[in-house]
Amino acid sequence: MSTTTYREALRQALIDAMTADADIILLGEEVGVYGGAYGVTKGLIELFGESRVIDAPISEAAIVGAAVGAALTGLRPVAELMYVDFAGLAMDQIANQAAKSRSMFGGQMGVPMVLRSQGGTGRSAAAQHSQSLEAWFLHTPGLRLAMPATVSDAYHLLRQALTQPDPVVFLEHKGLYALKGEVGDAPDAPWGAPAIRRAGSDLTLVAWSRMVHESLAAAEALAGAGVSAEVIDLRCLNPLDLGPVFASVARTGRAMVVTEAALTGSAASEIAARIGEHCFDWLEEPVLRIGGEDIPIPVAPALERAAIPTAALIADAARWLVHREAPPWA
């Protein structure tokens, strides 16, 4: 095992994958000379040349459209959108071309591409550069969706994404690039399977991306108050293997789903509904959702922090769910 940062784990995954597979190319705004968003692709143009690391025009539709075409003709492109907020400019290419080609061509060809982008808060980047939009992609059949929370998953999930036969939307979190951790010799779990980050017996906390860390901090605080919380990191939202989540809820009898995204219409709502449907006989309380406020993300740091869940809010909500203490929203 080696210690590195989330950013460097992603970069090393690209280096290792491109070394092993000459069909992998990178394209996006400033991925070459500048080094891409937050420096993930820094130095790759020197390693692999301009024919494989391509600085594209500032056009999300062109970037994704070119990647779809390249994938259909035998390459395995990695397209980078600097911010996930800009995905709307390429949604026809993502949702109508990449996602549907395998089905519309009767399985004769697929689109084996990876769409890398980053989202989330933490940099005071304001409403147009701070969203968590995974629900957009989760709602589109034909897309895979990975959201690594750990340094090890940043490496292994990206390597796994680059072997999939269908398009993978790979969403990083801008607040995790400097996170330090170890990269294991093997993935924490198989592709599409969740990982239990902390065992517990009173409550199941389900999260992904940066909210895994907030949930772990909440679980640590809860332990001091006599509440044992199990924290499950979904890792992938498509494929979505909720079997381990259902098994956990069967033991704990309570579940809470935590997301940084705006709560209405969120991935958390879908996951909470599935838990409620499958775990009806085991639940002692209704499934609780904790998510971001239904507002554009503020630019002021204090307001930005107040717009999304924190470890303190998660812990307060958990105490209410387990002990029926005063709810944090009262």
Active site residues: 129
- 41's tokens: 């692709």
- 103's tokens: 């089905």
Other C-beta atoms closer than 10 Å to the C-beta of 284 total 11
203/185 Cα distance (integer angstroms): 31
178/96 Cα distance (integer angstroms): 35
Tokens 């210690």 — which residue? 3
Cα distances (Å, whole numbers) of residue 54 to 58, 83, 226? 12, 18, 54
Secondary structure letter of residue 290 according to DSSP: E
Cβ-count burial of 113 within 10 angstroms (0-12 exposed, 13-18 middle, 19+ buried)? buried
Contact 125, 95 (CB under 8 A): no
Cβ-count burial of 300 within 10 angstroms (0-12 exposed, 13-18 middle, 19+ buried)? exposed
